[in-house]
Structure formats: structure tokens, C-alpha cells
Amino acid sequence: MRRLSPYAAALAGAALFAAPSGAENDVELSAEDLLAPYYAKLESEITLPVAPANVSLAPDRVITRFAFGSCNHQLRSQHMWAQIAATDPQLFLFIGDNNYGDQGWDGDAALTTLREAYGVQANTPELADFRARVPMMVTWDDHDFGFNDGGATFAFRRWAETIYEAFWGSSDAVKSRPGIYESRMFGSDGKITQVIMLDTRFFRSDLDTLDYTPERPPLGPYRPSGDTSKTMLGEAQWTWLDQELAKPADLRILVSSIQVITDAHDYESWEALPHERARLYAMLAGREESGLLMLSGDRHAGGIYRDAPEAGGGETLWELTSSSLNYAFSSTASNTAREPDPRRLTDFISEENFGLVEIDWDARTFTMSLRGSAGEVRVMRTESW
């Protein structure tokens, strides 16, 4: 007798439980619709993991130093939390691949490995100590979304969102809508920082893949798409972003889990949907007047990037990529040589790193740096806005 996979069994069970009977109710339901009763029952029967308690940051606090990072495997060394805390940041932005809950996943609709990964984090003493000292804001990337390179077609995304929101204690605003994007303001009196955390997973269309050729360098499987119906953020998030950029602020920090500016590789990036990147640039150019810095992760390497895209009216845009906290793949020398990039102004730092941004409000400058596993400065640059 052939056994159903966990995914197929869950989907079939949900279909039997949820599908209406009778020809008059013959309505086509999506996989997400069919799974909704299954997840409602599952949520009532289990206790989802919750992150260690986190201190808060007062909305009127002027930010002069914040840190960020990405790509943190829950089963690897957590020593970087102490290194980050030693820089005394007022805020930490955890910007994706905050765990690797998709590794070992067998396709079950319950996303057991993802819940287990969050469970490990819930009992990580280094994370608990850090969150007791440093306020955090969070967004996700693919591995803590639950599916490598996943997007809107991931059938279990709503359950992944439920797990995420329960763990990180998401705000009522985030819980009230699909996706996990959010924005907060900090500061006062001409020193207001807006932090915008995008969701580049929940709504994102599938990317176009390159044709296979054995001669192609191993720099990713995707190619820029000419299909303008594909989306990175989804219309609801685009509308929200436009509204956020119209709010008064002095400096905006825009967080994208995947890289924005670079065209130097074929992994996931905004380059894969060029019409969406042009839309982002145009929207940023039309923002209420403010400084701007973009942050990204994902790459298991980091650096400082600069561009002045025509779609953005020629404004100079800065992006600081930091990755990873504890999951390095290569060396800086080999990665820098492997991925030449005229828009990257530094080496491609491939050993463990986190990002630190220091703001001088009197000089109207921000200093971007990447710090290594011992807290040492790997790259640094100061720019004005």
C-alpha cells in the first residue's frame, strides 16, 4: 500500500475537513484555503515557541548607534551576541535567515523543523541575555520563512507567518495583515529615524531561472525577468511603503533581506525583478525629504555598496550588506575575486560579521562598518546625507 507523504496527507485531510459538499458549492479552493482548518486545529493543540523577553526602545529615544545582522544558524556557535552587545547598540535589527528551520524539512505541512528551530532559539541563553539588554526589530528571509528561495507560492506561508509572529511577539499592526512588514519611528526634534523592515518573501513572485550550462560560473540560478506582472512586495505592501515614505523623518533605514543595488550575481536579489527595483528607486526618490541608508543580508558575505540609478533620479544610494553571524562559507579573498562588482566599494567580507551604523546628528553623517567575530573593524566608511 502506497503511503502519502506528510504534506499530501495534511493537504488531503484539510480538503476533507474544509471542502463543501454538493455541486451547488463547487468552489475552487486554494491549497492555503484547504489548509486553514488544519492549521486552526493544530494551533489549538500545540504551544508555539516564544522568543526570550526583549527590552523595548522608547519612541522618543534618539538613535546614534544600532547594529544588524543576518544568517544565524540556531545549532552553531552563538558567540556573536556578546560581540554585538559589546558595541553598546541602542537597537538591533535581525534581518533574515534568523534560523535555518527549512534544513531537514521533509515536506510536512506542520513545518515541524521550522518550529523546532524556533524552539532551539527560545532556549538559547546567549540570545536571551542579548534580548534582555538590547531592543530588537525583526524581519525574515527564506530559511526562517520555511522554504529555500521561497515566495508567494509556498503553500504553507500563512502557517510560517503564524509561527514567526508568535515567536517574535509581532505588533498588532503586523498581525492584522498578511506578511510581516513593519515600520517604526524613533527620536525627536530633527533627529527622527524611521526604520522600515520590508517583507521580501510572503508576496514575492517566482523568479525566472537561467538555462543550464556547464560553463556558467557558480554565481546563482536566476536571471532578470521581463514579466512586469511579477512582484517583489505585493500591491498592499507597495501602497504601505509609499505611505511610510511620505511621513516626516530625518533619516530612513530601509531593510531588505536580499540585496538591492548589486548586479554582480544571479542569486536572489532585486536585480531579478528589474521593474520592481526601478519602482523602488522611483518611490525612494519621491520620499519626504530625508537621509537614506539601505541594509541587506542573505549572502553569507558583506560589504558597502553605492549606486546612483537613473530610475532614482540620479540620487546616490548606499547599501550595507552584513552576513553571516555564524555561518561563513568562504574566505574574503576568494569571494572578492569570485564576485567582482563596480558597485561594491570594499572587499566582500566572508568571515563571520555583523553590521554597525553610527549616526552623527550634528554633522548629518552615518558611519557604516562591518565587525568581525572578535568585534574588530573589517570595513568602515562615513557618508553625509
Could you read off the pLDDT of 93-111 as tens digits, one per residue? 999 999 999 999 999 999 9
Average pLDDT value over all residues in the chain: 93
Q: Tell me which residue range forms the domain holding 35.
A: 1-45
| Strands laid side by side in the 136-138 sheet | 136-138, 91-94, 65-69, 354-360, 365-371, 377-384
CATH of the domain at 340: 3.60.21.70
Same domain (yes/no): 41, 53: no
- Confidence at residue 16, expressed as pLDDT on a 0 to 100 scale: 43
Same-domain check for residues 37 and 168: no
How far, in Å, are 277, 299, 302, 353, 380 from residue 339 at the CA level?
Answer: 21, 12, 12, 18, 20
User: pLDDT at position 5, please?
Assistant: 43
Q: Which residue has the higher pLDDT, 48 or 30?
A: 48
Binned at pLDDT 50, 70 and 90, residue 213 comes out as: confident
Q: Which residues contact 239 (CB under 8 A, 6 or more apart)?
A: none
Task: Give the predicted TM-score (pTM) of the model.
Answer: 0.93
pLDDT of residue 320: 99
pLDDT tens for 128-180 read: 999 999 999 999 999 999 999 999 999 999 999 999 999 999 999 999 999 99
Residues 234 and 345 in one domain: yes
**Would you say 334 and 376 are in contact if contact means Cβ atoms under 8 Å apart?**
no
DSSP-derived 3-state class of residue 269 = strand
Own/partner long-range contacts of 121-128 (Cβ < 8 Å, ≥24 apart): 121/49, 121/51, 121/74, 121/167, 122/49, 122/50, 122/51, 122/52, 122/167, 124/52, 124/74, 124/78, 126/78, 126/79, 126/81, 126/82, 127/51, 127/52, 127/78, 127/81, 128/52, 128/53
pLDDT average, residue stretch 255-283: 98
Please give the average per-residue pLDDT across 325-354, as a whole number. 97
Pair (288, 379) in one structural domain: yes
- Is there a single domain that holds both residue 237 and residue 157? yes
Distance CA 90, CA 56 (A): 10
Domain match, 16 and 131 both: no
Average pLDDT over residues 197-205: 98
Residue 215 and residue 71 share a domain: yes
Q: How confident is the model at residue 24 (pLDDT cuts 50, 70, 90)?
A: very low
pLDDT at 27: 61
Q: Are residues 215 and 277 in the same domain?
A: yes
For residues 41 and 56, membership in a common domain is answered with: no
* Domain match, 29 and 142 both: no
Q: Are 133 and 26 in the same domain?
A: no
| Residue 327 pLDDT greater than 50, yes or no | yes
Q: How many separate domains does the chain show?
A: 2
The better pLDDT of the pair 21, 321 is held by 321
| pLDDT at 58 > cutoff 60 | yes
pLDDT at 214: 81
Least confident of 6-10, 257-261, 295-299: 6-10
Query: Does 228 lie in the same domain as 117?
Result: yes
